[in-house]
Amino acid sequence: MIPAMNVTRQYASIQDQLDKAALDVLHEGQYILGKTVEEFEKAFASYCGVQYAVGVGNGSDALVMALKACGIKAGDEVITTAMSFSATAEAITSVGAIPVFADCTKNTYCIDPRDIREKITQKSKAIIPVHLYGQCADMDEINRIADEYNLKVVEDCAQAAGATYKGRKAGSLGDVGCVSFFPTKNLGCAGDGGIIITNDESVYRQCRALRAHGSGLDGLYTYGIQNGIEISEDSVDFNGNLPKYFNFVTGYNSRLDALQAALLQVKLPYLDRWNERRREIAKQYDEKITNPVINKPLVAKDNTHIYYVYAITTDQRDELRAYLKRNDISSGVYFPVPFHLQVVYQNLGYKKGDMPNAEFVATHSLVLPMFPELTQQEIDQIIEVVNSWNP
């Protein structure tokens, strides 16, 4: 069976370096935060062309903390796409805010800025564009809307580490970017991991506090922000105790482990070449899949798509999926139910037909195998089988 995604081939390709990095951390004994995490944070911030990075437990927590650091609170409305992974909408409800869904475009699958405009109300406070499948949303238009209505822009880059828009990296385009290092992501660790990136020092300091129980000097700073008061760092006498045992705001326990940071530090220099390989595979799919019932993904102007997945659409999607399986090819559906039709959001009052494009993607799209270590023989086989499908 050709897998849709695979992590062990990548491990095998750089096993010596990864093993050494992991063992070094085990020997050093600094497992939570510390030098290894700081070094990776600096390297990743520099790779993305931003000033600050905060390593956190996963991409889902990154979104929650980023929203909090942007001042999003109970009763605020946050506009996001109807087509994404659960974590995007869940982050909004986790901070007590109300998710407002906008449709995606039919060809890029990313949020449609025209529908964002339709959804703005007095309560709108932020937009979460999701750079879905590895391609950035229409960020110029989204930033224009955000400026017009004074909204924060939190980029969900979970699927887009290394993607670019007008030459700038995903995550550096809005107020704050949130990345996931889930193992199958373009830059994946060996467990859960994530990072928040920003050029905003205040967001940076607040996220550092939030990932560690709202404690320490960053927690004190965050207390000042949350209460609208200016606070000097000398205003608390820690009496010789560790500042981390002084809690100023409610935070989380969500930090990037040193082990994960060490593995990610080894992998980061390979990211561009792995992404390039994904693009080469996508090019072959683009050029050699000639079956007329298959629609191939569109790359919008100014984007470097890094193909976290290669998503096609077709009328009889489930039949194609079964056909591929019978021919030893795995595929996937990302995602079968758009947010506005999920049970968890039924209280928001949406109904079938409200987001025609998201509903189309949910029922018509299928992702073909995509990871840098696919062999040419496997690629040829996938193309041949897809072309031979005659519904």
Ligand X SMILES: Cc1ncc(COP(=O)(O)O)c(C=O)c1O
Among 156, 175, 257, 359, binds ligand X (CB under 6 A): 156
Q: Does residue 180 bind ligand X (CB under 6 A)?
A: yes
Q: Which residues of 193-222 are buried (b: 16+ CB within 10 A; e: fewer)?
A: bbbbbbebeebbbbbbbbbbbbbbbbbbbb
Q: Does residue 108 bind ligand X (CB under 6 A)?
A: no
Q: Does residue 254 bind ligand X (CB under 6 A)?
A: no
Q: By rule CB under 6 A, what string of x and - marks binding of each residue 12-41 to ligand X? A: ------------------------------
Residue 94 C-beta: closest distance to ligand X, Å: 12
Among 36, 60, 143, 222, binds ligand X (CB under 6 A): 60
Which range of residues in 55-63, 134-142, 258-266, 320-328 is near ligand X by CB under 6 A? Answer: 55-63
Written as six digits, the tokens of 174 are 């809005």
Q: Does residue 215 bind ligand X (CB under 6 A)?
A: no
Kindly tell me which of 104 and 294 has the beta carbon lying closer to ligand X.
104
Total Cβ atoms within 10 A of residue 77? 19
Total Cβ atoms within 10 A of residue 103? 25
Q: Which residue has the tokens 């600096």?
A: 42
Residues 6+ apart with CB under 8 A from 261: 36, 37, 39, 40, 41, 55, 193
Q: Does residue 361 bind ligand X (CB under 6 A)?
A: no
Interatomic CA distance for residues 170 and 161, integer angstroms: 7
Q: Does residue 158 bind ligand X (CB under 6 A)?
A: yes
Q: Does residue 87 bind ligand X (CB under 6 A)?
A: yes
Kindly tell me which of 368 and 383 has the beta carbon lying closer to ligand X.
368
Residue 137 C-beta: closest distance to ligand X, Å: 11
Which alpha helices (DSSP H) does the chain contain, by range? Answer: 8-13, 15-28, 35-48, 59-69, 86-94, 113-119, 139-149, 201-210, 216-227, 258-267, 271-288, 317-326, 356-364, 376-388
Kindly tell me which of 5 and 293 has the beta carbon lying closer to ligand X.
5
Among 58, 172, 186, 365, binds ligand X (CB under 6 A): 58
Q: Does residue 159 bind ligand X (CB under 6 A)?
A: yes
Among 89, 100, 116, 130, binds ligand X (CB under 6 A): 130
Count of alpha carbons within 13 angstroms of residue 43, beta-carbon side? 17
Three-state DSSP at 100 gives strand
Kindly tell me which of 179 and 383 has the beta carbon lying closer to ligand X.
179
Calculate the CA dihedral of residues 370, 376, 377, 381 and round it to 10 degrees. Answer: 50
Residue 91 C-beta: closest distance to ligand X, Å: 8
Which range of residues in 1-9, 85-93, 277-285, 287-295 is near ligand X by CB under 6 A? Answer: 85-93
Q: Which residues of 228-250 are buried (b: 16+ CB within 10 A; e: fewer)?
A: eeebeeeeeeeeeeeeeebbbbe
**Binding-site size, ligand X (CB under 6 A):** 15
Kindly tell me which of 87 and 262 has the beta carbon lying closer to ligand X.
87
Written as six digits, the tokens of 328 are 């030893």
Residue 267 C-beta: closest distance to ligand X, Å: 15
Kindly tell me which of 256 and 386 has the beta carbon lying closer to ligand X.
256
Residue 387 C-beta: closest distance to ligand X, Å: 29
The residues of the shown chain that bind ligand X, judged by CB under 6 A, are: 58-60, 84-85, 87-88, 130, 156, 158-159, 180, 182, 192, 194
